[in-house]
Amino acid sequence: MALKRHRGFTLIELMVVLVILGLTSALVLPRLPSIYERFQDKSQVELLHQSLATLPLRAHSQQRDLILTTDTAKALLAPEDAALVREWKIEIPQPIIYRANGLCIGGKLNYRIKGLSGSLQLKPPYCETVSS
């Protein structure tokens, strides 16, 4: 009965794989902090979208009109956690009114969150956000 020989990896093959892994990590690792920061910025913009989406429900549940202006934006968009929105720069040219019945008249909102900036169009009657 003949013994089967298992051929393993040679030292040269292992060294080539280690060199390739080393070069790949040398290229990727320095970029990780910027990738992480970009991810955080995008999650902050997503938080802005979510906060805007809750305003019609809040107006309806409180049975009162909510008026979103540049001055009231941070308090209305993140009342529980003001530390999250401290870095937000929000400009609202015309007040956006959320009626007590949950409907709104629409409007435009400009934002700058860390490295990202843009504007959102809030379409009536539910103020759905549309990036512009």
Residue 122's H or E segment, with its range, is strand 116-123
Nearest Cα to 96, choosing from 115, 125, 69, 72?
69
Q: How many CA atoms lie within 13 A of 2 on its CB side?
A: 3
Model confidence, pTM? 0.71
Interval 28-50: pLDDT, tens? 888 888 888 888 888 888 888 88
Interval 35-94: pLDDT, tens? 888 888 888 888 888 888 989 999 999 999 999 999 988 888 876 666 667 778 899 999
Higher pLDDT, 114 or 10: 10
- Per domain, the residue ranges of the chain are 37-131
User: Which of 10-14, 75-79, 93-97 has maximum average pLDDT?
Assistant: 93-97
Q: What's the Cα-to-Cα distance from 98 to each of 39, 101, 122, rounded to whole Å?
A: 31, 8, 11
